Amino acid sequence: MALRKLAGPKTQVTREEIAREFDIMYGTQVRARLIAMTNPQEAEKVRKDAAAHAADPEYFGRLAKEHSVDAPSAAAKGVIQPILRHGTYPEIEKAAFSMKDGEVSPVIKVPKSEQYVILRKDGEIAARNAKLDELMARKLEEIIRDRKIRAEAGKFFQGLYEEKKGKIEDVWNNPARHKELPDVAALIDGRPIPMPEFIRPASIGTAMKCWKA
């Protein structure tokens, strides 16, 4: 796609990124339960209670229902989606992968949040039977590059908005709107920008000249 030229080096994919993506998609995952609280002192009390009954996952589940401020997991007795490597919160990831099955974690402060969490490791989901060969690397490279292109497209549309001071709707990165308008990249002041027109320019400067009229 010519849009890759538009984004330039920003869409280049490194070997490290490919290895990371492989680890996320095919690597080991941790099954865990979680209690989220807002008071660190109260969280420590609950943690000690949970640790004293660490062998019983249902006991931890009851504590989650009673104390956790995270409503979805509290309703599921603390059960959360499997924890992957390279996730949003390295502190939680590090604790989850370093714990033994049935172990209760220390109280973990969630960065940029007022929450403190306690984990119980229920077990692990083994890594999937996949090999990072040349074919797999190409597949993952395409996934990563497409993600980067979409991110750059969003920035590009924002740049157009600031340049034109008009209404820009990013259709491509909106799943619902993209389904309605599959051949449209964006709407600029209500005018559709077809996908072929969007991906044709070789540079952002050229593209902006196309749409300033």
The answer to whether the CB of 21 falls within 8 A of the CB of 140 is: yes
> What pLDDT does 199 receive?
46
The answer to whether the CB of 191 falls within 8 A of the CB of 166 is: no
- Per-residue confidence band for 187, with pLDDT thresholds at 50, 70 and 90: confident
pLDDT at residue 166 is higher than 50:
yes
Instruction: State residue 212 phi and psi, 5-degree precision.
Output: -80, -20
The residue among 156, 173, 171 whose CA lies nearest residue 211 is: 156
- Per-residue confidence band for 149, with pLDDT thresholds at 50, 70 and 90: confident
Minimum mean pLDDT among 12-21, 94-103, 189-198, 204-213: which range? Answer: 204-213
> What pLDDT does 31 receive?
97
Mean pLDDT of 88-115: 94
Q: What percent of the chain has pLDDT over 70?
A: 79
- Work out whether strand 191-194 and strand 168-170 pair parallel, antiparallel, or are unpaired: unpaired
Q: What rounded mean pLDDT belongs to the chain?
A: 83
In angstroms, rounded to a whole number, what is the distance separating the alpha carbons of residues 36 and 74? 9
pLDDT at residue 201 is higher than 80:
no
The residue among 177, 170, 132 whose CA lies nearest residue 149 is: 170
Best mean pLDDT range from 83-87, 114-118, 204-208: 114-118
C-alpha torsion 21→79→104→69, nearest 10 = 110
Q: Who wins on pLDDT, 74 or 186?
A: 74
Amino acid code (one letter) for 15 = R
pLDDT at residue 1 is higher than 60:
no
The answer to whether the CB of 44 falls within 8 A of the CB of 104 is: no
Task: Tell the residue number behind the tokens 């390295």, with chain if given.
Answer: 90
In angstroms, rounded to a whole number, what is the distance separating the alpha carbons of residues 99 and 121? 7
- Residues with Cβ within 8 Å of residue 164, at least 6 apart in sequence: 188, 189, 211, 212
Mean pLDDT of 191-203: 54
